[in-house]
Structures are given as structure tokens and as C-alpha cells.
Amino acid sequence: NWALSDFIEVEVARIKEKVGNQKVILGLSGGVDSSVAAVLIHKAIGDQLTCIFVDTGLLRKDEGVKVMENYGKHFHMNIKLVDAREQFLSKLKGISDPEEKRKIIGREFVEVFNQEALAFEDANFLAQGTIYPDVIESQSVKGPSATIKSHHNVGGLPEEMKLQLLEPLRELFKDEVRKVGVKLGIPKELVYRHPFPGPGLGIRVLGEVDEEKVRILQEADAIFIEELYKNNLYDEVSQAFVVLLPVKSVGVMGDERTYEYTAVVRSANTIDFMTATWSRLPYEFLDKVSSRIINEVKGINRVAYDISSKPPATIEWE
């Protein structure tokens, strides 16, 4: 695609020109937009870019390791890994209301990020993976999902820093960002990942969040996603994940009675995420996922499949 190679070349030149020999910081989430922005900017200015990756403890299994492997080792980018796991968990202790959890996670994220950013005293630019739909959304009246659930992204810069914004993807749609990502050499599997909400597993462990529940959910979710890839179903669905219910039920394992948590497997098909249907995944596949989760994840003895459409249900459970 000539237009996109062109985009990369033009944008790299523009970033070089704009940044000169100054320093840039960027909040790397592991998501498509911030990753593509990071690799693009790194291509332009190399080590003048430092990425800040916050491990909230609410990420998918091994996410931090994978980000460091891929963007740190493979792309040779400077990444500051911030381990904020305990901080997030302690702030969430005792909180079970979904909106309150979102607010706490959002607020905490901004605080941790800003504090880290402040340490880079010589930074002149804050880079963000803002894409065209984000620009539009922030200009218009917020859509229904924004008012039903307060979405969060990195908001505002530390004021003391007087950083200039660097947003090289501002004019691109999501599919163009993905194509740019592939052209830049980011593995397809990363570029075509399903969306992952800002509050992460904090809203997929229903009710009160603790370390043990997060671990259980990470294990179950990783099995579901692994099976989707193995069976060539990952790209057939728009978003798939596991939710952990704070409900225990009775089961039997060998001669033992068990009393453990329930996991819900959720998979949605959608064009715009405003409406969605549940994925008609094959029974054999669901059977495999269910047995693997129950057999391999200590703490879960029952798996349910979510057959709700949006509306009236939402894709996430909180």
C-alpha cells in the first residue's frame, strides 16, 4: 500500500523535524494505538523516546513480560516498567461498585503515570496514540456507552511539565493504524488483538478485586484466548474474554466435593461495539475451553457461556 508507506516516511520526517534533539515520553499500554505510535516515533528519533509502561496488576496474563520482550528487546526501545500492582490493589480493597472501581483505577493510573513522567525532567514532548475517532469523540457529545460507563484514557499532562503533545496517528482510522503497525514490523498477532478496556481485569473480576481472583481470571482468560487462536477462531470474533463471578458453587472432582468460583466465557461479534451479538462458537470448542479451565485453573469449578446480546446487555459485565 503506497499511501501508508508514504505516511510512515512523511511522518518520520515530520517527527524528526518537530522534535529535533529533544526528548519524548509516551505511555505505552500494550494496546494497538500506543504501540504503533511508539514504534513510529522510535523509528524517527530512536533513544530520544522513553516509554512508560504501568503494570497495574490488572493486565492479562504475562502482559508486562510480553511488552518488555517485544518492544524492549525486539524493537530496542527504552521502556520504563512501573510496577504499581500493589498500589492499585490496595486502592481497590473493599470496593465493589463498578463505577467506583473505574474511577479509582482511572485516577490511580493518571497519578502513577504523571509521577513517573515528572521524573523525566528533560522531556519536552508527551506522545500519545490518539487516533482520528478519539479526536472526533472528544469534540462531540459523548456517546451512550461513555455515559453509561465512564471510559478512561490517559487524561491531561502533569501541568508543571509544560509538555507539547506529539500525536502522529491523529488522522488515521483504526484499520489504517493496524496497517501502519504491520508495515513497521509489529507482529500481526499484536496488531490485530481484540480491544482491551482501560480498567482492565478490574472490571472483569466482578465485585471486589483481590490478587487471588485476578490470578484465577488471568489463567482462565489465557486458556480461552489460546484455544481461540489454536482453532482459528480468534479473528472470527470481535472481542473475547473471561469474566470471574464472585459466586461459588458446588462441584465434584474425583471423590472430593469442591466449592469454587464460576467463570463466564464471553465472546461478542460486532462492527461498531455499540450493538453486538454473542458469538456462535462451536459446542465442541466451548466444551474444550470449559474442561481445560476447570481442570487447569485452581479456584474455578464451573464455566458458563454468556448468550446475551447488546443491547440490552453490554459486552463487559461491569
Residue list for the binding site for ATP = 29-35
98 makes contact with ligand XMP (CB under 6 A): no
Q: Of the candidates 18, 80, 103, 151, which one interacts with ligand XMP according to CB under 6 A? A: 151
The bridge status of strand 239-253 relative to strand 164-166 is: unpaired
273 makes contact with ligand XMP (CB under 6 A): yes
87 makes contact with ligand XMP (CB under 6 A): no
174 makes contact with ligand XMP (CB under 6 A): no
285 makes contact with ligand XMP (CB under 6 A): no
Q: Of the candidates 149, 193, 248, 288, which one interacts with ligand XMP according to CB under 6 A? A: 149
The bridge status of strand 78-83 relative to strand 49-55 is: parallel
103 makes contact with ligand XMP (CB under 6 A): no
| 236 to 265: interface string for ligand XMP, x by CB under 6 A | ---x--------------------------
Binding to ligand XMP (CB under 6 A) within 10-29 occurs at none
With respect to ligand XMP, which residue has the nearer C-beta, 18 or 151?
151
Which residues in this chain contact ligand XMP in the complex, by CB under 6 A?
102, 145, 149, 151-152, 195, 197-199, 239, 273, 310, 314-316
